[in-house]
Structure 1
Amino acid sequence: MKTKKAGSGLVDFFTKPKAFLTGAVIGLVVATIVVTRLFSPTKEVVHEVETLSPSVVFERVIAQNELVCASQNYAIVDKATDTARLFDLIDLPWTTNSFWYRYCGTIKAGVNLQTAEFSQDENDANKLTVTLDQPYVISNTPDMGKSGVLEEHNNILNPIEVKDVDAFQRQCVERSEQEVTAGGFFDETRENAEANLKSMFCAALGDQVELTVVFREG
C-alpha cells in the first residue's frame, strides 16, 4: 500500500504550469465579458423612416410609363364577299365568293404617364393636380381560339385566298376601335384613371391628400 506524502498536492500544482495558465486566461476572459455587459451603455437601434413627398410619389407613378384603366371584349360577325372584275370596271357575277367570319378580341385602353404633369397648390400642400393626355387604345389583341370562318362559299373561278381573310381581319380591328371610340369606353377609362391615381397618392401620403386629375383637350 502506497502512502501519499503531505504537501504532494501543492507540489503537483506548481509542477503543472500549463494547467494553471489556462485556467487564469479563461477566468480573465469571463471576467472581462461580465464587466463589459454590466457597465457598457445599451445602444438603441434606430430605424430610419423614409418620408415620401408628393413629387417623389409622382415620379414613382410615372415610372410605369402607361396605366391600363379599362378592358373590353368584343366579337364581330360579318360576311365578306369578293367578285372578280373585268378590266377593273365590270363585275363578273359568276365569280362571286363569300365567307362568314367571327372575329373576337380584347381592347385595353389607358393613359400615357410619360407626358403627365404634376403641380402642388402653393397655399395648401395637400391639394395636388395631375394633368394627363386623353386616353388611347393601348392594345387590341385577337382571340384566335374563338375567331375563324363560320361558313364559306368558294368559287373555282375566284377562290378565297389567305390575303382575303387577312384583309377582313384588318377591317375588324379598325371597326372594333371605331366602335370603342364612338361609345363610352374612353369615359370609363378616364374615370378609372382618376380613381387609380387617387388611390396611389392616398395610399402613399394619407387620406388628407386631395388629388385633381385634369385631361388635356384633344
Structure 2
Amino acid sequence: MKYFEGIKGKLLLIAIVVIFILGTIGYAKISVQRKTNLLSNKVEEQVTKLMELSTVKYSYTNVVEYEDKMQLSGINLPFTNKRFILKYSGYIKAGINLDTIEVKVKDKNSVEIIMENAEIFENVIPEEEVYFFDEKESIFNKLSFKDLYVVLIEEKDKMEKEAVDKGLLNDAEKNGSEILKYLLEGMGFKNITIRFK
C-alpha cells in the first residue's frame, strides 16, 4: 500500500477508482438490453355458420390530419397542441343475408325469390395499412393509442356512409340478383322473379 502514500499516490488511487467507475458505467450501458414480454390469453373462441353472400367490395384509401389543442375561453393555450397525419386503407363488403331468402316455386319453370335488402357485412381497416406521419405532442397534451382509435372509428363510419351514398347497397342488390338468377337458370328455371322486401 506504500504506492498510494503521498500526493502522487493518492492521485493514482483516485485515478484508478475513477477509471474503475467509468469502466463499470460504460459496461453497464453497453450491456443494457430491452426485454419485452407479451402475455396473451384467449378469452373467447367461437365458430359461427355464416349465411352471407358478399356481392360487392368497396376499397378505399384516405389521409386524415388530426390536431388537438386545449383552449381557455376560446384562446389556445401554449404547449398543449398535439397532432399527426394518418394514411390508411380499408375495404367494405356488402351483400345479401341468405337467411332472409324466401323461395316460392310456382312450377318447374317458374320461381320467385323474396329477400331482405342488401346490408354491410364488413368494414375493415387492417393494422398493416395504417401509417403515421408528422407526429407531434406537447408537454401537457400527450399522444395516446386512444387518439388513433377514435380517429379510425370516425373514419370507418364516414367511409361507410360515403359508400352507401354512392350506391354501394344498390350495387350489392343488383349483383346478388344476377348471381342468384345465374344459379337458378342453371337449375332449369326460365321465369325467375327476384324481389327485395
Same fold at TM > 0.5: yes
Residue in 2 that maps onto 1:147? 130
Residue in 2 that maps onto 1:168? 151
Residue in 2 that maps onto 1:52? none
CA spacing shift, 1:131–1:164, aligned 2, 3 Å: same
Say whether 1:214 aligns with 2:178: no
Kindly indicate which of the two structures has a greater share of residues assigned to strand. 2
Paired amino acid for 1:202 = E
Say whether 1:79 aligns with 2:65: yes
Gaps of 5+ in 2: 1-48
User: Within 2, Cα distance between the matches of 1:146 and 1:181?
Assistant: 22
Q: Give matches, 1:9-48, under 5 Å.
A: none
Say whether 1:134 aligns with 2:117: yes
Q: Give matches, 1:49-60, under 5 Å.
A: none
Residues 68-88 of structure 1: CA deviation (Å, up to 9, x unaligned): 1001111121111112355xx
Look at both structures and tell me which one has the larger radius of gyration over its CA atoms: 1
Whether the 8 Å contact between 1:104 and 1:144 is mirrored in structure 2 is no
Task: Give the structure-1-normalised TM-score.
Answer: 0.62
Residues 1-48 of structure 1: CA deviation (Å, up to 9, x unaligned): xxxxxxxxxxxxxxxxxxxxxxxxxxxxxxxxxxxxxxxxxxxxxxxx
Gaps of 5+ in 1: 1-62
Q: CA deviation at 1:131?
A: 0.9
Q: CA deviation at 1:210?
A: 2.1
Which among 110, 129, 151 is matched to residue 95 of structure 2?
Answer: 110
User: Within 1, Cα distance between the matches of 2:93 and 2:64?
Assistant: 23
Q: CA deviation at 1:64?
A: 6.2
Task: Give the structure-2-normalised TM-score.
Answer: 0.68
Identity, % of aligned pairs?
A: 24
- Secondary structure of 1:145's counterpart equals helix
Residues 112-169 of structure 1: CA deviation (Å, up to 9, x unaligned): 1111111133xx5412111111111111121322212122222122111111111111
- Secondary structure of 2:54's counterpart equals strand
CA spacing shift, 1:90–1:112, aligned 2, 3 Å: same
User: Within 2, Cα distance between the matches of 1:74 and 1:96?
Assistant: 29
User: Within 2, Cα distance between the matches of 1:170 and 1:91?
Assistant: 29
User: Within 1, Cα distance between the matches of 2:85 and 2:62?
Assistant: 10
Residues 52-97 of structure 1: CA deviation (Å, up to 9, x unaligned): xxxxxxxxxxx961111001111121111112355xx656432121
